[in-house]
Amino acid sequence: MKILKDLLFLLLCGMFLCACTKNHEKTYKESRESLHTVVAITVVSDSSDKAKSAIDKAYHELDRLAKLLNFYSEHSEVSEINKNAGNKPVKVSVETFEIIEKALYASENTEGAFDITVGPVVKLWDFKNKVIPDADQIKEKSKIIGYKNILIDKKDSTVFLEKKGMQIDLGGIIKGYAADKAVEVLKSNGIKAGIVAAAGDIRTFGKRHDEGSWNVGIKNPRQKGSVDEIVAVVKLSGQAISTSGDYERFFEKNGIRYHHILDPKTGNPAYGCQSVTIVAKEAAITDAFATGIFVLGPKKGMGVLNKLGIDGIIIDKEGKVYITDGLKGSIELMIKDSTFA
Ligand code: AMP
Ligand code: MG
């Protein structure tokens, strides 16, 4: 169901993509399952063979990273790090080291609101089967959350989780990071422009063949029906965009919405926002900050964005929309005022 929804969302975004031709260039688009979601890859190319081969290689890269960085697989490097928590540093690949470095950058700049050591509490929550974990269990597992206890050694390329029981879960950054890497593969295979869209984590590069911008829609986090309603369209030229929302994986019990973006301080869902969209150069950064700013809430979140010069759109818990100044010229709002519900 989630995958179907993702596909619908991407199709909707796709509506904004032009498919006309110029200088023999065409837009080629393909959607496949990877990273436990639907990933759409769009490229501009003068040759269908070149486009197809580059797209195949990009999907191969996404699948490779999904395997390497999977929190739930026994055989991933992430599992190897987690198994050795409190015991010894683990030597890791360049990619594992790099994504953890980027995650730590996001932690340091969001007062720890983005924190990949939320792993133990993530495993307590079961949104599919609507399980609310026991409050004592959440409290117990929350004690070992803390990105400051991740020790990295660049020279030896090792990662060490200092406390026993610590677990890193890269779920809040992996789709963006993988989208960046897939773009590198497309570029090294001669593609000059395109998009890699891993559900809500999207990286664009180059220009559309008609010189227009890449347009990405932001969903209404409180839409009533199953058809996606777009509340804003952001025009991009080579940047990345990510949206984190409390409507992606959630259930409701007694009027309370329980969703998958957790406050590392409490181990419970964060309640300041409905959705956060971030625009920046890299999708690893937009992915991590969309999750982290969601946890921080609108006030502190806008403060962080303004301080770092990162752009974003925050829809707070009441449906009030906040937009950074840098985005005001490249966003089209589909709503009458700055509030909707
Ligand atoms: P996203 O959909 O990118 O916002 O990421 C949400 C996913 O990241 C969750 O399903 C968890 O796996 C993980 N996660 C949840 N809360 C946090 C957090 N505060 N910091 C880092 N990762 C988180
Ligand atoms: Mg994220």
Q: Mind listing the pLDDT tens digit for each residue in 309-331?
A: 999 999 999 999 999 999 999 99
Confidence of residue 14 (pLDDT cuts 50, 70, 90): very low
For ligand 1, whether the C-beta of 264 sits within 6 Å is: yes
Q: How far is the CA of 305 from the centre of ligand 1 (A)?
A: 19
For ligand 1, atom 8, the nearest C-alpha belongs to 172
For ligand 1, whether the C-beta of 117 sits within 6 Å is: no
Q: How far is the CA of 215 from the centre of ligand 1 (A)?
A: 25
pLDDT of residue 228: 87
For ligand 1, atom 6, the nearest C-alpha belongs to 172
Q: For residue range 30-49, list pLDDT tens digits in order.
A: 999 999 999 999 999 999 99
Is 1 a residue whose pLDDT tops 90? no
> Closest-lying ligand to the alpha carbon of 171?
1
Nearest ligand 1 atom, CA 242 = 3
Nearest ligand 1 atom, CA 107 = 20
Average pLDDT on 108-129 reads 98
Confidence of residue 17 (pLDDT cuts 50, 70, 90): very low
For ligand 1, atom 5, the nearest C-alpha belongs to 172
For ligand 1, atom 7, the nearest C-alpha belongs to 172
pLDDT > 70 in the chain, percent: 91
Q: How far is the CA of 316 from the centre of ligand 2 (A)?
A: 17
For ligand 1, whether the C-beta of 246 sits within 6 Å is: no
Would you call 29 helix, strand, or coil by DSSP?
strand
Q: For residue range 201-241, list pLDDT tens digits in order.
A: 999 999 887 878 899 999 999 998 888 899 999 999 899 99
Average pLDDT on 110-123 reads 98
Element containing residue 322 per DSSP (H, E): strand 321-323
The rounded mean pLDDT for the chain is 92
φ, ψ of residue 53 in degrees (nearest 5): -65, -45
For ligand 1, whether the C-beta of 295 sits within 6 Å is: yes
Residue with tokens 């010189």: 211
For ligand 1, whether the C-beta of 118 sits within 6 Å is: yes
Mutate to test the pocket of ligand 1, among 168, 262, 274, 296 (most ligand atoms within 8 A of CB): 262
> Closest-lying ligand to the alpha carbon of 248?
1
Confidence of residue 337 (pLDDT cuts 50, 70, 90): low
Confidence of residue 339 (pLDDT cuts 50, 70, 90): low
CA distances from 47 to 190, 238, 285 (A): 11, 22, 32
Q: Are 300 and 263 in contact (CB under 8 A)?
A: no
Q: How far is the CA of 50 from the centre of ligand 2 (A)?
A: 31
Confidence of residue 90 (pLDDT cuts 50, 70, 90): very high
pLDDT of residue 225: 86
pLDDT of residue 334: 87
Confidence of residue 336 (pLDDT cuts 50, 70, 90): low
Q: Which residues of 204-242 are buried (b: 16+ CB within 10 A; e: fewer)?
A: bbbebbeeebbbbbbbbbbeeeeebbbbbbbbbeebbbb
Average pLDDT on 80-96 reads 98
**Which residues lie closer than 8 Å to 185 by C-beta, 6 or more apart?**
54, 57, 58, 60, 61
Q: How far is the CA of 177 from the centre of ligand 2 (A)?
A: 10
pLDDT of residue 8: 44
For ligand 1, whether the C-beta of 316 sits within 6 Å is: no
pLDDT of residue 226: 85
Average pLDDT on 288-295 reads 98
Q: Which residues of 21-37 are buried (b: 16+ CB within 10 A; e: fewer)?
A: eeeebbbbbebeebbbb
Higher pLDDT, 3 or 170: 170
Higher pLDDT, 89 or 211: 89
pLDDT of residue 18: 38
Between CA 18 and CA 151 the distance in angstroms is 46
For ligand 1, whether the C-beta of 312 sits within 6 Å is: no
Mutate to test the pocket of ligand 1, among 100, 250, 260 (most ligand atoms within 8 A of CB): 260
Mutate to test the pocket of ligand 1, among 169, 244, 249, 258 (most ligand atoms within 8 A of CB): 169
